[in-house]
Structure 1
Amino acid sequence: MKALILLAAFGVVFATDNININNSGNDGDNVHQTVNIDNHDNIANINQFNGWHSWNSIWDYNRGLFAVRLMSQRVCVVSRINRNAVPSLEQLSKVSHEKVNPNAPPPRTLTYSISPNKVKNVAQFGASIEALCKGVPTRFAQETQGAGLFVNLQGCTNLGILRFLGISLCGTIGC
């Protein structure tokens, strides 16, 4: 009996949430996103399945980093998590289970400027991000804010994280 109670306690600590969301876009596209949350390692894995525009991402809350692998451009982009704008793992799980509110304000959008230089050592970002970005060119991105926001933002790729956050990755991201 004690072992069962102990295992139940660990089940709460090591709980993993798996969320599937299907959205139909305005143009009739079907977008399928999955969210897998590993509460033990404080990592979220968010994937979007949308044909050529598919992408995978890792959100490593312990390291304060996220990475996105863009399938169509065969590139990985790594940046810091803006903890003031990005929901915590607990909030992510809660929001992803809520029904769509048609009167909700549009999602907040964060814009990142991608460095033209390739990252030489992807392992510095941790094992999860290294696994995601292994074998493809990887670049670092800085969040862009303030007056310079609209300067030099050519070639943006827009990602919608569920219904509550937009990410724009701007700059030269080709191989």
Structure 2
Amino acid sequence: MSVSSQTMEAIIEQKSNRISWKTIWNYNTGIIATKVMQTRTCYISTMNRSEMPTFAALVRVAAERRNLINLGRPSRRITFVTNGLVSNLSSYGAHVFSMCSGLPTYRAQEVQVLLGLVLNPALADQHQQTEVSKKISIGGAYQILTINRKWLVASIEQKSNHGSWKTIWNYDTGFMATKVLPERACYLSIMNRTEMPSFDALPQLAADIRNQNHPRAPTKEITFTLVRRIIRDLGSYGPDIFYTCRGLSTYVAYQVQGPEFSLGSCIKLDALQYLALTYCHNDNSV
């Protein structure tokens, strides 16, 4: 950790084989910026001064930690959800710009955690944007639902030890994209609005999950066959899909129905315990 009394900044960096990161706390501007090396991503948020140590206390905290063999668990925790991309990185100062330049940089907004559900009540009440996270399996997986009412875009992201994925539904353009991290692949398709939940129904689906005592099977399923195809202009699908899929193997996913289709290996993703997205490799097409 390094501390600058001149700029009122503290920089904390961790390097390890498991995960490496760097965070900048600017007590002058009240801004936090964190870079996660493994995902090559930056997050910028506003400081919660009531939960974070004061600037004067940082040197003392660092000295105390050096005298400990086992650091133990943190005494405080702040949970954030992403809330769109940062458009003007230079406005956050030279150190943040230098650290995050060239990386996808997201605004991160603090949320309150209650019974495993992360909810931003202010955004929900204003009907601008709702972001929730709900643990839905015993294996430790949880899903984050993000709704952008301005752009009519919803994303559902699941993180777990067994496999993580993210799907983006653009209700404005009618396109959807799903990124599967174990395969380092992205699947592009046209939304089936008949089978998929409406945009306005998504907050209620998240609320229904909170009220359930046990996980349930999805009530609907859409099956796709995958065709490997070069997407020459990924940006035409919108910034959310572009940043999700860039640098990954991209497939076009076509919906199929009926047993007459000979499908190869498949992967099934459970979105909000409502819709199962099944993607199958067709050996004759991929």
Alignment partner of 1:112 out of 212, 224, 249: 224
* Residues 134 and 147 (structure 1), Cα distance of their counterparts in 2 relative to 1, 3 Å cut: same
Alignment partner of 1:53 out of 138, 160, 163: 163
CA offset digits 1:32-87 (Å, max 9, x no partner): 00001001100011100012410112111101011011100001001111000101
Following superposition, the deviation at residue 132 of structure 1 comes to 0.8
CA offset digits 1:80-105 (Å, max 9, x no partner): 11000101121111111112276x77
**Equivalent pair of 2:263/2:282 in contact (CA under 8 Å):** no
RMSD: 2.6
**Equivalent pair of 1:122/1:138 in contact (CA under 8 Å):** no
Is 1:23 the counterpart of 2:133? The answer is no
| Aligned residue type for 1:129 | I
Unaligned runs of 5+ in 1: 1-10
**Equivalent pair of 1:35/1:45 in contact (CA under 8 Å):** yes
Following superposition, the deviation at residue 117 of structure 1 comes to 2.6
* Residues 142 and 101 (structure 1), Cα distance of their counterparts in 2 relative to 1, 3 Å cut: farther
Alignment partner of 1:121 out of 214, 233, 251: 233
Following superposition, the deviation at residue 137 of structure 1 comes to 1.4
**Runs of 4+ more than 3 Å apart:** 11-14
* Residues 152 and 117 (structure 1), Cα distance of their counterparts in 2 relative to 1, 3 Å cut: farther
| Aligned residue type for 2:135 | N
Alignment partner of 1:167 out of 272, 277, 280: 277
CA offset digits 1:2-27 (Å, max 9, x no partner): xxxxxxxxx97761001111012xxx
Following superposition, the deviation at residue 172 of structure 1 comes to 5.7
Whose Rg is larger? 2
Is 1:37 the counterpart of 2:150? The answer is no
Distance 1:95 1:136 in 2: 30
Number of positions where the alignment pairs a residue of Structure 1 with one of Structure 2: 160
- Which of structures 1 and 2 has the larger relative contact order (alpha carbons within 8 angstroms, sep 6+)? 1
Unaligned runs of 5+ in 2: 1-123
Distance 1:53 1:105 in 2: 18
Alignment partner of 1:135 out of 226, 240, 247: 247
Q: How does 1:94-113 map to 2 (within 5 A)?
A: 94-98=204-208, 99-100=211-212, 106-113=218-225
Alignment partner of 2:267 out of 154, 157, 163: 157
Higher helix proportion: 1
Distance 1:40 1:95 in 2: 20
- Normalising by structure 1, we get a TM-score of 0.81
Percent identity, aligned pairs only, is 24
**Equivalent pair of 2:131/2:145 in contact (CA under 8 Å):** yes
**Equivalent pair of 1:13/1:39 in contact (CA under 8 Å):** no
